[in-house]
Amino acid sequence: MPYRSSRWVMALACTTALVATAACGSSGGTGGTTADGKIELTVATFNEFGYEDLLPAYEAAHPNIKVVARKTGKADDHHQNLFTKIAAGSGLSDIEAVEEGYLPQVLSKADKFNNLLEIGPADVKPDRWLAWKSESATKNGSFIGYGTDIGPLAMCYRKDLFEAAGLPSDPEGVKAVFATWDSYFAAGDQFKAKSGDKAWFDSAAQVFNAMINQEKVGYYDASDKLVVDTNPDLKADWQQVTAAVAKGQSAKLVAFSNEWNTGFKNAAFATKTCPSWMLGVVEKQAGPENAGKWAVTEAFPDGGGNWGGSFLTVPKQSKHPKEAAELAAWLTAPEQQIKAFTAKGTFPSQVEALTSPALLDQTSAYFGGVKTGALFAAQAKKGPASGTIQDKVFNSALQAVEQGTSVDDAWKQAVEGAQKAAK
Amino acid sequence: MTADLTEVPSGRGVEPRPPVRRDAPADHPRPPWRDRLTRLDVKFTPYLFIAPFFVLFAVIGLFPLLYTGYVSMFDWELGGDEHPFVGLENYATLLADDQFWNAMFNTISIFVLSSVPQMITAVLLAALLNTALRARTAWRMGVLLPYVASLVALAIIFSNLFGKQYGLINTFLDAVGLSPVDWQGNWFASHVAIATMVNWRWTGYNALIVLAAMQAIPREVHEAALVDGAGAVRRFVSITLPLLRPTIIFVVITSTIGGLQIFTEPKLFDPAGGSGGGFSHQYQTVVLYLYQAGFQDFDLGYASAMAWILFLVVLVIAAANFFLTRRIASTGESE
């Protein structure tokens, strides 16, 4: 008898335990206090922010604070986690990094984030950063993100392909080629005439993104109304790019795909829109056998632009928002950002950091010893007209054009797709 | 109270008890506490032992299923502050959504392109593995290797093979004088490419299941047929296939469920890494569209409605397959 009842109890216990773990298996503490009474702050970032050495330094200077870093490999996964946990109402870190491409979605939920003007240190004002950078993280007077890095745009080009096609390839000479988008596409025609199977640029979407980035009004107007079918600038850019595709200027390689990587090795295209972080990508994909063949110039058609960069936000879920804002302000201070730049190459968005010798003296041996730091610092000050870049709907439509869909059908696909996505 | 005693279940492992007469005196003494405990034990312990499965199923299977149905009735934006009730509007929108029907067509097309060749190859492969091969175990384990490999690694390798400009397959086609195929842009070619990934991974697995069933067929039946003068083909068609019927039905139904929920292969086949299934959704499957709606556009209500429609479609197609397979497998003369 005792044997039997103990078995009964055990089964009951097992089931209860099972229900309990299943029901409350995923409860994790956020931003609490540690056992020894320290305030615990979590910092969630993706890819490389270069904070590995900075966080211990902050802990050393602030004995009452313990910092826990949460790093995610891919930006996609990081932001999906961010949005899901905003929806869940719990689980976010005290500091959440947000990438520029996801900023519109974050701003549409701006009420879930702290206004850093209110809770941040009083001496940290939006003018610490480039004006356009701070503006892009502000909505209805609420400043929700301290800028970390940016991706100022320049142009990369293959010197050897330029020479073979009879185009000027020296730093001064190429300025005429890259003066405006008109001169850029005209040079593309000239290039195509001389070097048959090589293309002028890698893919239409990569060029279109840079063009739309320079327009005052992109996909949305100032009142957040979708204007894709009525914005004449957007249509003009679209027509210019698709016309170039029709003339064979595009290598039709989807950016960051394996085929695109191979395209760099095979010298499939002669120019590439190059944000500061793209230099590393070019160097890696083109490989050491192409060292010295690629060059980078600050001459960018019709001015400059920006592609990429992030912000540090403090969600309202944080239990220690003031301390978190203080840490975020410290991490995004010019001195710290320069250290992060030295460690991982994240290009600073702080006005003061752009004059730092550590930045200005940076050179790239792969790109022929050019002073890349000074070059991109100059581009950073030009900035974008609007923050709009990288629209999935338009990227797909441009790909469709490259694969043989008619320009009109693809335009219809883009407009309908954008309207559906905006619904 | 006392009459309950007669209703003690006498299942396996329970010792038979002497029957108690219904007209037993009413002043029968109350059973002692321990007896009652024993009765409870016998009655409920079996349920507790099977409970873990049902509890788990209820928590991670049934609850999400029902909750998805609930969510599908709302305009439920992920992270939104309020979720207005919209009734069946999501379903109405869905049924009028071209992109959904395109995704449904793609899913079924990829499913047919993968399942049909897969089943035929698996049965033939099993028949081969069932013969007196040298190093039989090595072969049998060998067909399982693709199944062991990581699906993500596989999809990346296949996407490279099917690359349009620098892919190995197009390079080969070019070398033998054929024109290269646009494995990305052409809808049919992209379906073939994705179906190839599915087939490569699942054929061996299904072959092993069929092989196990083949080995369970009694030798006597084959021997009797042999005595009657039946050749190898005749025996395969008239004995092996009909006797494999339950197994083939099982394999067809599981591959129907899996095939209609295909996600990873088309997701990773997209060079841009998005959930659109190609630049004009030429290989976007229903689950891929569901994922896009739910986690890219944050429209959980719409995604939930899609999940339910897909669930119903899987049920219908699995049932259709069940009857179809039964017919096909019963055309043998042994029936």
| Nearest to A346, CA basis, from A43, A2, A47 | A47
- Which chain B residue's Cα is nearest to A266? B166
Residue B144: its H or E element: none
User: Cβ–Cβ contacts within 10 Å for residue A216, how many?
Assistant: 10
Residue B142, domain extent: 98-329
**Residue range A302-313: mean pLDDT, rounded:** 90
- Phi and psi angles of residue A148, each rounded to the nearest 5 degrees, phi first: -105, -80
B249 within 8 A of B326, measured Cβ to Cβ:
yes
Q: Output phi, psi for B133, to 5 deg.
A: -80, 155
**The pLDDT of residue A108:** 84
Convert the pLDDT of each residue in B81-132 to its tens digit: 788 999 999 999 999 999 999 999 999 999 999 999 999 999 999 999 998 8
A310 phi, psi to nearest 5 deg:
-135, 175
What's the rounded Cα separation, in Å, for the pair A25 and A17? 11
CA dist B325 → B36, B101, B109, B199, B256 (Å) = 52, 26, 19, 20, 12
Instruction: Convert the pLDDT of each residue in B185-227 to its tens digit.
Output: 889 999 999 999 999 999 999 999 999 999 999 989 999 999 9
B200, B151 Cβ separation under 8 angstroms: no
B interface residues, A as partner, C-beta within 8 Å: 34, 37-38, 40-41, 44-45, 48-49, 51-52, 55-56, 59-60, 78-80, 156, 159-160, 163-167, 182, 184-185, 271-274, 276, 279-280, 295, 297-298
Q: What's the CA gap between B320 and A203, in Å, rounded?
A: 46
A203: confidence class by pLDDT, cuts 50, 70, 90: very high
Confidence of residue B20 (pLDDT cuts 50, 70, 90): low
pLDDT at B58: 93
Number of structural domains (chain B) is: 2
Chain B interface test: which of A3, A4, A113 (most B C-beta within 10 Å)? A4
B126 and B45 in a common domain: no
> Do B13 and B151 fall into the same domain?
no
Whether the CA torsion A228, A229, A232, A237 is positive or negative: it is: positive
Q: Is the pLDDT of residue B134 over 70?
A: yes
- If asked whether residues B129 and B250 sit together in one domain, one would say yes
With an 8 Å Cβ cutoff, are B38 and A4 in contact? Answer: yes
Percent of chain A topping pLDDT 90:
56
B71, B88, B120 — which closes off a domain?
A: B71
Mean pLDDT for B287-309 is 91
pLDDT for res B133: 84
Question: pLDDT per residue over A218-261, tens digit each?
Answer: 888 777 788 888 999 999 999 999 999 999 999 999 888 889 99
Choice between A390 and B239, residue whose per-residue pLDDT is larger? B239
Question: A124-158: per-residue pLDDT in tens?
Answer: 999 999 998 998 899 889 999 999 999 999 999 99
B59 with B102, same domain? no
Residue-wise pLDDT tens digits, A335-377: 999 999 888 888 999 999 999 998 999 888 899 889 999 999 9
CA distance A120 to chain B (A): 25
pLDDT of residue B6: 47
- Give the pLDDT of residue A21: 41
Which pLDDT score, from 0 to 100, does residue B124 have?
93
Rounded distance between C-alpha atoms, residue A249 and residue A271, angstroms: 10
Q: Which of A3, A7, A8 should we substitute to test contact with B (largest number of B Cβ atoms within 10 Å)?
A: A8
Chain B residues close to A255, C-beta within 8 Å? 272
Residue B335 domain flag: no
Q: How confident is the model at residue A423 (pLDDT cuts 50, 70, 90)?
A: low
Residue B78 lies in a domain: no
Q: Give me the mean pLDDT over the A194-214 stretch.
A: 90
The CATH code that applies to domain A39-150+308-360 is 3.40.190.10
Which of A384-398, B80-94, B126-140 has the weakest average pLDDT?
A384-398
Query: Are B304 and B189 contained in the same domain?
Result: yes
The rounded mean pLDDT for chain A is: 87
The tokens for B272 are: 């841009």
Q: Which residue of chain B comes nearest to A23, CA vs CA? A: B59
Please, which pLDDT band fits residue B321 given cuts at 50, 70 and 90? confident
A12 vs B48, B182, B297: nearest CB: B48
In chain A, list all ranges with CATH 3.40.190.10.
39-150+308-360, 152-307+364-422
Chain B residue closest in CA terms to A400 = B279
Q: A152-307+364-422: what CATH class?
A: alpha beta
Interface-testing mutation among B152, B166, B270, B296, with chain A (most A C-beta atoms within 10 A):
B166
Nearest CA in chain A to B298: A83
Alpha-carbon gap, residue A196 to A181, rounded angstroms: 22
Residues of chain B positioned with their CB less than 8 A from the CB of A395: 272, 279
**pLDDT band, very low/low/confident/very high, at B16 (cuts 50, 70, 90):** low
pLDDT at B152 over 50: yes
Span of A134-138, A396-400, A417-421, B267-271 with lowest mean pLDDT:
A417-421
Query: Interior CA angle at A286 toward A281 and A292, to 5°?
Result: 105
* Whether residues B111 and B15 fall in one domain: no
Structure confidence at residue A175 as a pLDDT band (50, 70, 90): very high
Q: What are the pLDDT digits (tens) for A398-412?
A: 999 998 889 999 999
Which residues in B lie closer than 8 A to residue A18 (C-beta atoms)?
A: 51-52, 55-56
Examine the domain organization and report whether B246 and B183 are in the same domain. Answer: yes
Residue of B nearest to A413 (CA): B280
Which of B34, B159, B185 shows the shortest C-beta gap to A1?
B34
pLDDT in tens, A67-115: 999 998 888 889 989 988 988 888 999 999 999 888 888 888 899 999 9
CA-nearest of B232, B333, B293 to B94 is B293
The structure's pTM equals 0.79
pLDDT in tens, A2-32: 444 444 444 444 444 444 444 333 334 444 7
Q: Are residues B57 and B189 in the same domain?
A: no
CATH code of residue B172: 1.10.3720.10
SS3 for A62-117, per residue? CCCEEEEEEEECCHHHHHHHHHHHHHHCCCCCCEEEEEHHHHHHHHCCHHHECCHH
**pLDDT of A332:** 95
Q: Give the model's pLDDT for residue B57.
A: 93
pLDDT band at B31; cut points 50, 70, 90: low
Residue A285: list chain B partners with CB under 8 A: none
Q: Which two tokens stand for residue A79?
A: 């932001």
Residue B79 lies in a domain: no
A403/B34 Cβ within 8 A? no
Q: Could you give the ipTM of this predicted complex?
A: 0.76
Residues B165-183 pLDDT 10s = 889 999 999 999 999 999 9
Q: For chain B, how many helices (H) and strands (E)?
A: 16, 0
- Mean pLDDT, rounded, of chain B: 86
Is the pLDDT at B21 greater than 80, yes or no? no
pLDDT at A7: 47
